Structure 1
């Protein structure tokens, strides 16, 4: 099992490996496998890239991010400009039903609401928004109207895990309780944990997922 010092060094190395992230702008603290990031970045995509980099490090059990985003004057956008950019991005992305998603922007903070048919569509909306210049934060409260279909859901997800090269399916169990899918077991990284959740989202009929997978060395 890695020590906190070893995890911190690996996190710093992974941050340095990212072409659009300056590791010197980010503070890293590790306690019992939980990584805390602090600092101020000039781009929301850098914040996302830094957090994704940490999740790829083996031994990281949880991530607590407190990175702030402050754009320079040349990249600052008004709330109206951000909202228009999001609307256009939704129009170009076939995974997002733009007529079902409401957009609210206040001081660079974006709130997404509405009702869509699947968890995949909800996540797609958030992914599209993350690429918008001027963005400071995304709050995704879109709901899913389709209740989970109990027939074959567990089997579909289990088969999807076995097809994935990024997931050790034997260490994961899938439980279905009414409208909730629970993932339990052990994985070797936050990336694998996230991959399992993402794979489960693609299954037809999935309404909500509780990811209780434990990250172990």
Structure 2
């Protein structure tokens, strides 16, 4: 098991390795395996990429984010301008039904509401909005239309786990209540844990995934 000092070195190195992050602006502290990222970044996308980079490091058991998004002068936009860009982007998407997603912007923070048929559509929307100039954060309140049988959903997710997270599939339990999926058990890495969550979200009709998988090293 890694010491806190080793984890700090590894997380710092991973941040420097990530080309989408300016690691010189981010401070790293570690206590009992929990990593705290502080400092400031120039965009919400950079903040998001820094969080993902820290989570990729083996041994990290938790993540606290205290980074601030400080938009440089040319990147600052008013809320109405951001909302127009977000609506244009959604209207240009070929996979979304017209007016299925609504946008609200306050001080650069975008809140998305509405309903889609698949989780990949929800993820594509949030990923696209995250990259818009001037955005300081994204709240994803998009829901998924329920269309599936509980029995079929459970068996489909378990089959997907065996395909994607083969090493840890036997140690992960899947329970389904309505359109909610509950994952429990253990995984050996954050990557395997993320694969399990992605497998659950990839099933049609899933509205929420409660991930109680514990990462053990």
Using structure 1 for the length normalisation, give the TM-score.
0.91
SS of alignment partner, residue 83 of structure 1: helix
Q: CA deviation at 1:15?
A: 0.3
Q: Does 1:124 align with 2:144?
A: no
Whole-Å Cα distance in 1 between the matches of residues 122 and 20 of structure 2? 27
For 1:52, the equivalent position in structure 2 comes to 52
Query: Across the two proteins, how many residue pairs are aligned to each other?
Result: 217
Q: 8 Å contact 1:27–1:38 — kept in the other structure?
A: yes
Q: Which has the higher contact order (CA 8 A, sep 6+)?
A: 1
- Deviations along 1:59-97, one digit per CA (max 9) or x if unpaired, are 111211121111111111121221122122223333444
- How far does residue 98 in structure 1 lie from its aligned partner after superposition? 4.9
For residues 106-157 of structure 1, what are the alpha-carbon distances to aligned partners after superposition, in whole Å with 9 as ceiling and x for unaligned? 1101111123333333333211211111110111122334265213111101
Give the match for residue 64 of structure 1: 64
SS in 2 for 1:176: strand
Using a 3 Å threshold, how does the CA distance of structure 1 residues 87 and 74 change in structure 2: closer, same or farther? same
Does structure 2 conserve the Cα–Cα contact (< 8 Å) formed by 1:95 and 1:124? no
Matches within 5 A, 1:147-158: 149-158=149-158
Matches within 5 A, 1:83-94: 83-94=83-94
1:27 aligns with 2:27: yes
Note closer, same or farther for the CA distance 1:166–1:108 as it changes in structure 2 (3 Å cut). farther
Alpha-carbon offset, residue 42 of structure 1: 1.0
Q: Is residue 102 from structure 1 mapped to residue 102 from structure 2 by the alignment?
A: yes
Q: Aligned partners of 1:4 and 1:150: how far apart in 2?
A: 42
1:74 is paired with a residue of what secondary structure?
helix
Structure 2 unaligned segments of length 5 or more: list them: none
Going from structure 1 to structure 2, the CA distance change for 1:69 and 1:51 (only over 3 Å counts) comes to same
Q: Deviations over 1:139-195 (max 9, x none)?
A: 112233426521311110111112226863222121112332111111123232222
| 1:51 Cα deviation after fit | 0.6
Residues 207 and 149 (structure 1 numbering): CA distance in 2 closer, same or farther, change over 3 Å?
farther
What is the Cα-based RMSD across aligned positions, in Å?
Answer: 1.9
Structure 1 distance, partners of 2:95, 2:124, is 6
